[in-house]
Amino acid sequence: MLDGHGDDIYRYNDLVKMNFSSNIYQHADLTALKEFMKGHFDLIANYPEPQPRSLERLIALKEGISPEAVLVTNGATEAIYMIAAHFKNSASAVQSHHLL
């Protein structure tokens, strides 16, 4: 990845009230998630595997597809960078149709 994930709100502490550089809802009540996590810290004892192969296999099994058809990323930005890198020697065009 070239430079981060596209959201630099961490640079501004509490100065930003609405963040339009990300589609993450910032006012969600995370109380239940935090309580759940408190009770499961024993599961967070090691770094995860470097590549998410186990998760890809589980998703593939659940969906009835090949694990090679599943790609787990750290989010949309990483996926976009990976797609761009894969097609770096290709050409593409975007055509816009205006309906009146």
Both structure tokens of 14: 């509490």
Predicted pLDDT of residue 12: 81
Q: How confident is the model at residue 35 (pLDDT cuts 50, 70, 90)?
A: very high
Predicted pLDDT of residue 3: 59
Q: How confident is the model at residue 31 (pLDDT cuts 50, 70, 90)?
A: very high
Q: For the segment 1-29, what is each residue's pLDDT rounded down to a tens digit? A: 455 656 777 788 778 777 766 666 777 89
Residue 69 clears pLDDT 90, i.e. is over it: yes
Residue 43 clears pLDDT 60, i.e. is over it: yes
What is the distance between the alpha carbons of residues 38 and 83, in angstroms, rounded to a whole number? Answer: 37
Predicted pLDDT of residue 32: 95
Q: pLDDT averaged over the chain?
A: 82
